[in-house]
Amino acid sequence: MRIWQYASAHPNLETHLILHPTSPLPKPQPTHHLLQILAVGLNPVDYKPAEAPYLGSLAVRKPATPGFDIAGRIVTPAENSALEPGELVFGTASTNPFAGGGLAEYVCVPAERVVKLPAGSSPLVAAGVAVAGLTAYASLQPYIKSGSRVFINGGSGGVGTYAIRMSRWWTRSGRKSQPITDFVAVEIAKALGAHVTVSCSGRNAELCRSLGADEVLDYTTRPLVDQLRDAAAATRPFDHTVDNVFSDPALYWQAHTYSTPSAKFAEVASGPTLAFARLALGAMLLPTFLGGGQRKFVIVAADIKPDLLEKMAGWIVDGTVKPVTDGVYPMEEVVEAFKRQKSGRATGKIIINVAGGKY
């Protein structure tokens, strides 16, 4: 089989990626499926930890293969699995997001990390669902309710595009906040609607509006914090903030000037950098009178569970969530795909068509 690997990620991962053309197929343990990989969705976690000084060498064992989000076909199912050879599945390639291992033609995947792909769903869509979709869900579900005013920083990226849809759907349902494990019990109630404000560049404003955003702030025109203060003063403060970018720490430190006292600040774009460590430690450990933040700071990560993957698949099939794809790259162009992922210009998910099929 073909497999992408790297032995170093300094100064950047894509410089060291090598496509090996004739690697042996992996042999699955009894608790793992052997999958033929059809498609992989790229995420920042595929390169940020590996590139981090010091941490990268500790967190990622080399040689390593990136690619956490996957869609594939069962070759050999795990023992006692209800899945059968030939069935399509999606989810994640492993339990290690730092080096998922998905960018290969065959992968051994823990049985609990994938679920059956609904009939009619495209692997090229499903491959981008797990991390972005479930991260967006985790950033919203515990913190918003019917009528909430939500601000999403970075509305046109992979997580942001899911988050706009999800915040609209969740609050329309009238569902009160519950623990994430209770989500499978959701029954959609009367549509109530949330007010969703997002930030993006002007060129992506219409995309965000088409996804359901009520208001779009163009961060290229003037400081985003100033725009948020004006928006809060014009109507009322925000009840929840989701930061998918981490480009301006002032967004958190000034959150009290545009959000309610009970509002949470959910940080999605966390990474192994000193700048983020300073923000997180100051926000979570310092009391307000010593310079700490005035809003609760929450670090968000995807909770990859089979029931939530199945629910996400159902939303996509019925149109509740409509994933946005920036581009689809063939297996041979993974390096170019990573460059696009890191450019900051991608709108939606970047997908690798590993098997080359027309799905």
**Which pLDDT does position 168 carry in this prediction?**
53
Residues in the chain with pLDDT < 50?
Answer: 156, 158-162, 169-193
Alpha helices in 154-292 (DSSP H): 158-172, 205-210, 224-234, 250-253, 274-285
Q: How far apart are CA 50 and CA 244, in angstroms?
A: 20
**Which pLDDT does position 163 carry in this prediction?**
52
**Which pLDDT does position 183 carry in this prediction?**
21
Specify the pTM: 0.83
Q: How far apart are CA 277 and CA 272, in angstroms?
A: 7
**Which pLDDT does position 102 carry in this prediction?**
98
Token pair for residue 123? 């692997």
Q: How far apart are CA 138 and CA 186, in angstroms?
A: 15
**Which pLDDT does position 181 carry in this prediction?**
22
Residue environment code for 139-162, b if the CB has 16+ CB neighbours within 10 A, otherwise e: bbbbbbebebbbbbbbbbbbbbbb
**Which pLDDT does position 173 carry in this prediction?**
40
Radius of gyration of the chain (CA): 20
Q: What is the pLDDT of residues 107-129, one digit of tens each?
A: 999 999 999 999 989 999 999 98
3-state class (DSSP) for residue 262? strand
**Which pLDDT does position 259 carry in this prediction?**
98
CB 124 within 8 A of CB 37: no
**Which pLDDT does position 146 carry in this prediction?**
76
**Which pLDDT does position 344 carry in this prediction?**
77
